[in-house]
Structure 1
Amino acid sequence: MLAVQVLGPVRAWRDGTALAFGPAGRKAVFGLLTLAGGKPVSRAELVQALWGERPPPSATNVIHTHVKHLRHVLEPGRGARTPSTTLPTVGDGYALNLPRDGVDVARFHSLVSRADSVLPGQPRQAAELLGRALALWHGPPLADVPVLGDHPAVVTLAAAQRVALARYAEVMIATGSARDVLPALVADTAEHELDEAAHALLIRAYTATGQRDRAFGAFEVVRRRLTEELGVGPGPELTAAYLDALEEAPRRPAAAVNTLPGDVFAFTGRAAELAELGRVPGTDRTGVPIVVVCGTAGVGKTALALHWAHRIRSDYPDGQLYVDLRGYDARLPVSANDALGRLLDGLGVTGADVPHDPDRRAARYRAELADRRVLVVLDNASAVDQVRPLLPGTSGCLVLVTSRNSLAGLVALHGAHRLDVDLLPAPDAVALLGALIGDRVRREPGAAAELAARCGRLPLALRVAAELAASRPGSTLAELTGELADRRRRLRVLDVGDDARAAVRTVFSWSYRQLPPRVAKAFRRSGQHPGPDVTPFALAALTGTDAEESRRALEVLARNHLAQPTSGGRFVVHDLLRAYAEELAGEHDPAPERSAAVDRLLAHHLAAASAAMDLLYPADRPYRPPVDVTVTPPFATADGARAWLNAERPTLVALCRFAARDGRPGYAVDLAGTLYRYLEGGHYADASTIHECALRAARRAGDETMLAAALTNLGALRRLLGDYDQAARHLREAIGLHRRTGDHYGAARALSNLGIVEERQGDHDAAAASQREALAVHQRLGNEYGVAAVLLNLGNAYNRPGHHHRAAEHLEGALELFCRLDDAIGQASALSNLGDVCGSLRRFPDAVRHLDRARELFQRLNHDYGVAVTLSNLGNVHRRLGDWSQAHHCYTSALPIFRDIGHRYGEASALNGLAEALRGLGRFGEARAAHADALRIATETGDQDERDRARTGLAVVLEQA
């Protein structure tokens, strides 16, 4: 049996014994004939292959001699006059007839062809065939015959091998076996340094095996070679592989969370429903398990869902999430995008880590829940479209939905298990009254049963009625039941017979009728509040009374189960009760009075927000929207102001939305402008909602002054989020509008923000020009605070090699002005940046002194962003001093703060600094990972400086490691 190898050095064996071909020329002839696959090769072709355009006169004779010796080697028993069958003469040339199974090149082509025939349906079989084909190779074709290295047949065969390798790599990546193909890809890219397709495959394989640092490093290597040797950047295929690697960024591990409200007091009955819930298929199914608890309003869906959720908490150790979708709130239901923001916040994803785009936000939510066991409770959903984006992507989670709607689409399309909740059985209804009232139910069983029936056996109505009974201990249950029956007869709406909702309204009206007039008015006004909860101060604004009287009214409502107290002195009103309160307001209060109440509510929150900002940012006071109404704010200190803003933020978002929809655009724009400095501290998801509401309101109103202000705020926010292109568009439009309306201060503010964007995008000359123009405007206006702020930004713009002295000059000027203005935050910011510049100038004692002072100020002010920047700048100083351990400590202290507040530029800069410190410590693998993370963030945001810094760092690490 003859076996031949040409996929590597030329070899042949007969029955396992190696054959000796002799000189390289003879191997060349044999190899070319083998590659021809049995087709004849002329003597002229052989001569051309061995000697090119200038063969010796003896070339034909040499070829004839090589063939004669090959015949002897291949057919040792053939007689001198017997024609050769293995290597016959054909015309003016020769053909080599070998059994195909014995020739490696023939087997290679056969295996590749078979692999092609089973793709794409059988990828694993194709991978096995391609793997066997590639295993036949032992080097370049005809590796020991260098004279044939450029022969077309050899070049074609080598190309076929690389095509097969690429196909094999794609299949291995697709089938989860990328690690096995990595050695071959590494070798291939080392040999073909400028082949973008090969490097793209290597990056994809690294990404598939979780080696993102190596993926980014491989990208950097080929990117640099393309730039240096060809003067071009990465093409589409290579860029796509790199972007895929970015998308595979690993999630930071999150601790278990629990945002469930507390379990229901005196939960009674529902044994059958709880048993059915216990039989719901678990997580051993393909899709995510979904349970829909549906039933009429007030039937106890939420109570049942929360009670069961608390029962099964231990089955979901990675967390329990809850969001009230307010699906039946006619004015402000929670959108799926906002709900995703709240769910991500519960999972610890905040700030710029919360994507703005709804699809990307949903993808991030699913990524956070992947491979985790989390219980998700979606309360008060109104439609399938409100729920579908909130569904996890894997079966480890359980979704529990409550709705008045059957949500048939979830059942049909997602396999949800639907549980219909009916009225409480009569014994359970009476038992609930007993749990709430006590022995009176045992003493008057008949009256208790009648009272349960009069309440429609609805838990909400039963609780309201029980509280009324408890407040009148001197009355019998029979007397109370008679009153309720009489009340029902007198209500015109009760023509609907046994409709359960009529029973609820009857009980509500019965309880409402017992309220003192001022408390009744407070209840009606509570229905006009668009926020998620009510405070005594907000109710005082709605009723025109004081906070103490409103607090007492809310406590009365809570005792009557017409409101529910929560933490922080706040009260929640059930959506049925809100609707009833709003209905009563429409019946009893004139429209102008209701409108004036809402105006007072909005004015209260705007004035309170402005007062909070005065305490936190006093130097900004002249430049915030004016406030006409003076109120006593519910806080007296800066800490209290910040606590109020944190607690009230969901309400402020709701009020801004309400104002934008209700034809009050000025309020939406003024609230956004008032809250800007607070929101820029890291509350980016809510900031986006508020500033976008303001922008929509201003555009609808057609007011250029409001539009310019809204665009400036939204542009500045987009800058903080790292969306530099969008930021620049908003800010340039704002500058034009400010100039047209004669608002020079607004134009200067937009210009300064634009300068920061231009700096981040690497256009330092444009950045400095924008800042200088803004500075000139503030100087003409005599606005010292504006001058100081722009000097700070100018200092940052010049904080680069060759310009550090200029940067220090501007920052020292900013510091002097901020000190004169007694602006502590401005002083701390100037000191922090000045310390960084002093470090670049190697004025290390000054640098440390400035930065220590800045950190003290920021910590005293509870200014997290400032603390993070100062720590990062201190890390820069220690790194320049070669104190790698201290630098490492500073960066690792700054990073969690940047991540929490969502400041992406700060995170990228600190990651690059950390990587440089890790390189100094000799921890190259960790350095690669940190630079890769910095590169991902800087690439996403378009931050040129940090992107270049990360790329350079990765190249250095690869050379050092």
Structure 2
Amino acid sequence: MWDLRILGPVELLADGRRLDLGPAKQRAVLAALAVDAGRTVPVEVLIDRVWDEHPPRTVRNALHTHVLRLRRSLETLGDAARLEFRDGGYALSIDPERVDLLRFRRLAGRARGPAQSPGQTADLLREALGLWHGQPLAGLRGEWAAQVRDECEQQRLSATLTLAPIELELGTPPGAVADLVRPLLETHPLVEPLAAVLIRALRADGRPSEALACYRRIRQRLRDELGAAPGHELETAHQAAPRRPAAEAYVPRQLPLDVRGFTGREAELSTLDEFLDEADGLLVAVVSGTAGVGKSTLAVHWAHEVRDRFPDGQLHVNLRGFDPGGPPAAPAEVLRGFLEALGVPSQRIPGDVPAQAALFRSRLTGRRMLILLDNAADAAQVRPLLPGEAGCLALVTSRASLSGLVATEGARPLRLDTMSGAEGRELLARRVGEHRIKDDPDAVDRILTACAGLPLALAITAARAATHPSFSLGTVAAELTEARTRLDALADSDPATDVRAVFSWSYRTLDPAGARLFRLLGLLPGPDAGINAVASLAGMRTDEVRPLLALLIQANLLAEQPAGRYGCHDLLRAYARELTDRIDPEADRRAATHRVLDFYLHTALAGDHLLYPNRTKLYDRPDPVAAGVTPEPLADMAAALDWFAREQRQLRAAVDLAAAADLGTLTFLLTWALGTYYDRDWNGRDWIACLEIALAVAQRRPDDPLRLARIHYSLGSAQRELGHPDRSQHHLELALELLDGRDEVGERAIVHLNLGTTVRELGRYDEALEQAQLALEVYRAHGWRAGEASALNNMGWVHVILGNYEVALDHCQRAVAIQEELGNWPGAAHSWDSVGYVHHHLGAYAEALTCYRRSRELFREQGDRRLEAIILTHTGDTHLAAGDPALARDAWRQALDIYEEIDHRDSAEIRAKLRSDLARVAQSS
């Protein structure tokens, strides 16, 4: 049994077990498909739903990666769920009954049917509402997710408004009806029918004072927000409720001033609302997060929003857990202040903490009070300050996760992350004015990037812009990006608003081993890393580094992300880097950098070998794996593809890091190891960027012409694949010059082979044959059969262009035989394509299609989407020549789908084919 949940966090449960659905964007892809289960969602629509209006440049690659991983997760379900690409989009083929949102809508629709009795309607709506387990799409951000949430909430509201009166009529316990209605009334406080049902339920449950309080609250809100009086239905429910004079008592109101213009954090506020709605047995909620992320601001704002739920008052204290001005507040000091606020004379307050805590809990008995315990150091500081029974809520904020309170006191945890781009933009607009935001959107983007989504940094920047209205936002953005570090630009004389000082308060709580690891994290390439990369950086075993990672997570200096990855926002990374540069000896920093680069290099080389076992061997082998380095174990090609996809940003950054450290061999080897993956993933631009970096490093030491030749050869191949044969020829000819007079005949042969392909694309066919012949002679002379097959294949391709079909077929069939015998499947796939191409030109269309089918199967097994699309294009051409335009269109559309997914230049050519074919069909009809 399995279920896909959307009415809460996006979850896939199989036999009671939650399957790993990956990061938020990946879950958003699944949700965006699930709401239209069975229907095709165009790629553009899917991108809009998941990435809103600002998708990254590589969004199609990212989408394809997410889809591949989701397919693996869905494999657990067999044929019950399939994620398919068709008609320019993706479709999730799944039983709608297994998707909670779709089942909810079906049940609610049936309940509205005229043939249902009240009991049947109630049964259907109970089942429908029972599917909810939180805020829909919880944890997903963006306009589409917000829109779906709003629609779901309206449907839930409608179902509840229908069910609640029926429940009262059917004799359902009124307390249960009140529990059904109350959470929605908190979300929709101006829906009078909802309030009327709650008042009726409370009255029937013998709780007239609560009914009266409910009526007064909504009457006040109607007056304040709408300028209206209660309607007939609400007034009737109120008039039926017996009145009772309210008792007068001193009510403490200690909440700090709410933040003016509070923005964002809708998901987190909703989560706190959900905690409160579950609060029959809940006494404690913990808001944790890194320094400067806005924990106190959120807690104070939410406390103001719900203070009416706590009519007996609110208590507040700053526990100074991470305060540079002195030690954390002692529980005895806090309890004395609380007891005095509750009316206990100072002479009656006991002297020891246990007795104070007991008296405090006694004073809270029968009351509904909110206790805001801000900036806690640890669980031990908090425990004496907690209430003893339901009705009161302790809301705790801390930089530590306080997992002990979660484990022993049943606290509900909420981890606060950095702000989204939309939330940060709204914060700036509220603080500096919407007109300034609209006048310079580019500067706003640079400010948001520099502040890394940290509310404290955004608030400091906004304050600077607001207090200097003559400064343009461009000037403010330049200060952030041009300062020695962004931390300098965010410095302030007040330690409470100096980002560096605020971070330091958390850092000082670490033990030496944890502090060292945090500092070294500033040396990581990329924004996050897996545990093996972190262990290699630190020169430790994974079992040694894991407790230290837990310590940093507990201190909210690090976040554990899906799939066992660890990272922190950019400003914390900058702070860590600043610390390691100042504290750790240069030799230690250099050794750590070498270790983490060694991790990426050896894992990437192993992955490259899995993707292309017969790739030309390197002449300069890397050093053995360094002590303290733990490469990632990669079992097979699929694992290698997944690792490369997951580590793309880190690997790209690793090349930059190696070059900056002037590590020429490492820079070259890393770049080489990325070549096959970049080619398969059609990421030629990043490959060229890495090669140009490697070239710049190698040119600083021109005493290694072979390495320079290798880089020029690789640049030539990459430029040709990107459609720049002139640039390709330039680099390949430079490679030949560097190899002139050297003994590396194999190196010259592969350059001749590639130069032949390049000049063939330039239309110089005699020269292409000459270059392939030069390579063939070398390969045969040295018994290098894979190279011989490649040269034969290239010669065959030129002969088919020249119309020498029988010669071409002989060359290409010999190439296939050699490659299959060697088990060189990438080479065999190329050669099968060539044989099919020759058969096509000989008019043997059935034979051509058989060859293409074999070639496509091999390329698909290799995960090579670009070449699979090329084969589909050739397949369509052959179908058209064979007189079957419908099959031709189908093959071309599949090719176009792939080209559009990987953003390939040949997509325009396929569109032209489809347009031309449609025009022919129109003329014939």
After TM superposition, the score normalised by the length of structure 1 is 0.47
After TM superposition, the score normalised by the length of structure 2 is 0.49
Larger Rg: 1
